[in-house]
Amino acid sequence: MNRITTAISNIVRNLPVLKIGLLLLMVAIFSATSMAQCGGSFSELVVAAASIRSQSKGSQLASPSSAQNQSAATNDNAVYTSIVGFWHIRFLVGGQQIQEVFQIWNAGGTEVHNPNVDPRQGNICLGAWKEAAPQTFKLTHRVWFYDTNGNFQGTGHLSETLTLGNRGNSHSGSFTLGIYDPFGNLVAEIPGTVLGERISPD
């Protein structure tokens, strides 16, 4: 598998014109055989994003405001100024949903991320967050990638920047998923949109 990640890095350096299409195809192949705690979640994100990019190159991401209107409205009448709570999340690339997730944002600055993927691949991610500005929050995840033989393949870095809306019952923002080889070199970077709806205990 190290030969694959080396080949991907060479593509990035030597073929800038074909970088997006070939890179995402190679990352999809690499990710499909990776396993780790939360590795299934990141693999699914990469494969879905690669599929969308190959179908419509150069498509624009859906704006958070327009895509947010497609989400189910919450029945909670409370006003929230913090992101702490339980959320239903959707990740989009090119305006198309590539994954949905249940998330818990804890008051201590940690977060648990439970995506709708096969749990046998690893579907619980752990993250840390901070408030970057009033009602705007930054989140980061780190994931180890291993192949099926237990060989280390690199890391995944998921970053999000989100802003609360709808009285704190929804949020929207952006994400970036970076894939790094075992030597810490960036292999691929996938940007997209994040939309969330707060889940009320009622």
Residue 71 domain flag:
no
Residue 36 domain flag:
yes
pLDDT band at 53 (very low <50, low <70, confident <90, very high): low
pLDDT for the residue 29: 41
pLDDT score of 64 more than 80: no
The mean pLDDT value for 96-122 works out to 90
Contact 142, 156 (CB under 8 A): yes
CATH number where 189 lies: 2.40.128.30
Q: Output Rg (C-alpha) for the chain, integer angstroms.
A: 17
Residue 66 domain flag:
no
The mean pLDDT value for 2-30 works out to 44
CA-based nearest residue to 49, from 25, 15, 13 = 25
Residue 68 domain flag:
no
Residue 65 domain flag:
no
The DSSP H or E segment spanning 123 is none
| pLDDT tens track for 124-138 | 889 999 999 999 999
Domain tally for the chain? Answer: 1
Read off the tokens for 42. Answer: 């990141």
* pTM (predicted TM-score): 0.69
> What burial letters (b/e) apply to 120-137, b meaning 16+ CB within 10 Å?
ebbbebebebeeeeebeb
Domain that holds residue 138: 2-59+81-198
Residue 75 domain flag:
no
Q: Which of 68-77, 123-132, 145-154, 174-183 is predicted least confidently?
A: 68-77
pLDDT band at 24 (very low <50, low <70, confident <90, very high): low
| pLDDT tens track for 75-87 | 446 789 999 999 9
pLDDT for the residue 150: 86
Helix ranges restricted to H, the chain: 2-14, 19-32, 39-55, 64-68
